[in-house]
Amino acid sequence: MREITLGNLDDIARGSGILGTGGGGDPYIGKLLAREAIRSHGPVRLVRIDEVRADATVVPVSGMGAPTVLLERVPNGREDAAALRALERHIGRRATHLAPLEVGGVNSMLPIACAARTGLPLVDEDAMGRAFPEAQMVLPGLAGISISPMALADDKGNTVVVEAVDNHTAERIARAVCVELGCQISCADTVLRGDQLAAGLVPATLTLAGRLGAAVREARAAHRDPVAAARVVLAGVPLLTGKVVDVMRRTEGGFARGHARIEGTREDAGRVLELGFQNEHLLATRDGVTVATTPDLIWFWTARPATR
């Protein structure tokens, strides 16, 4: 994939929703934002890791906050560029490329909208290859790259730049600012040099989301099994076919935590899968044995036959 256009945006959104593994927020609003931005400003150029110069300045942009708020207080579209400009003023140089922070869920879409509006190229990789709940839980952190300086912006023109002593603290400060600014803000942070991308990002994840979305769409159109099609793209292993018989949810520390119990049907009749989640699906235990755990991506598909 070389460009993100109105033609392949839906596939990327569909695929990124799948890569969200239960969390990450519904890409729907993000897709509408990206679509409106591409309609007004044209397609987004997508570049591979080897096309980025070693001294390039790559800035991941993302949204932070509550998915519920994003669905209600829809952005005005200028927040992410405002965060980016605030960060550029602080570090004294301009971004040459943008990057998604998390390819799973709505945060796959917001950088596309920002890239369309700013005209900057977008690198085809992200910082976790999935969705995860906190800002410091990303690959660049392992590579020793700091989240700070971190620029935050809201829909009214307020911006805050955070210089924190470590990544956990940056996350905590940003979370507090986020609540004050209405629980949904845009962030530009974790500045990467071009030669840090290989160590700090997961390659070709937007392309993967697009392929995944296309495979599911094509399977549905041809009345084939979309789950099987997705499994081929992802090299997935089936854990259990069954029905959800119980879901327990609670809020702890601002997260939706809980577990679901799935009883097997058909060839899995008699087996039971327990799924633990904190926003995303984190742990799958089948008949008392752990069969998948983070960093595995644990998917959960709803069976729906094609009707017409």
Partner 1 sequence: MRIGIDVGGTNTDAVLLGYDDRVLAAAKSPTTPDITSGVTAAVRALDPPAESVTAVMIGTTHFLNALVEGARLTPVAAVRLGLPATAAVPPMADWPARQRAAVGGYGYLCHGGREFDGRPLSPLDPEELKRTAADIAARGLTSVAVSSVFSPVAETDERQAAEILRAELGEGVHFSLSHDLGRVGLLARENATIINASLRDLATVIVESLGKALAELSITAPFFLSQNDGTLMDVDFARTCPVATFASGPTNSMRGAALLSGVGDCAVIDVGGTTADIGMLTGGFPREAAGESEAAGIRVNFRIPDVLSLGIGGGSLVSRRGGTGPRSVGHLLTREALVFGGTRLTATDLAVAAGRADIGDSAHVAHLEPEFTERALERIAGRLAEGVDRMRTSAAALPVVAVGGGSVLMPEPLPGFADVRRPAHFGVANAVGAAIAQIGGEVDRVFRVPDGRRDSVLAEARDEALGRALDAGARPGSVRVVDIEEVPLAYLPGGATRIRVKAVGDLDLRRIGDITWCGAGATADA
For residue 51, state whether it binds partner 1 (rule: CB under 8 A).
no
Stretch touching partner 1 by CB under 8 A, among 52-60, 101-109, 152-160, 198-206: 152-160
* CA nearest to 197, candidates 102, 99, 121, 114: 99
For residue 5, state whether it binds partner 1 (rule: CB under 8 A).
no
Stretch touching partner 1 by CB under 8 A, among 25-33, 164-172, 197-205, 286-294: 25-33
Contact pick of 101, 113, 192, 230 for partner 1 (by CB under 8 A): 113
Q: How far is it, in rounded angstroms, from Cα 284 to Cα 277?
A: 9
Which residue has 């730049």 as its token pair? 161
* Termini Cα distance of the chain: 31
Contact pick of 12, 37, 83, 282 for partner 1 (by CB under 8 A): 37
Least distance between partner 1 and beta carbon 50 (Å):
33
Least distance between partner 1 and beta carbon 76 (Å):
4
Q: Which of residues 212-251 bind partner 1 (CB under 8 A)?
A: 243-245, 249-251
Q: What is the CA radius of gyration of the chain?
A: 19
| 106, 30 Cβ separation under 8 angstroms | yes
Separation in Å, CA 51 to CA 33, 129, 191: 27, 20, 18
Contact pick of 51, 88, 225, 263 for partner 1 (by CB under 8 A): 263
Tokens of 53: 């110069």
* CA nearest to 246, candidates 264, 227, 261: 261
The footprint of partner 1 (CB under 8 A) covers: 28-29, 32-33, 35-37, 65-69, 71-77, 113, 155-157, 175, 178-179, 182-183, 243-245, 249-251, 254-256, 263, 265, 269, 279, 303-305, 307-308
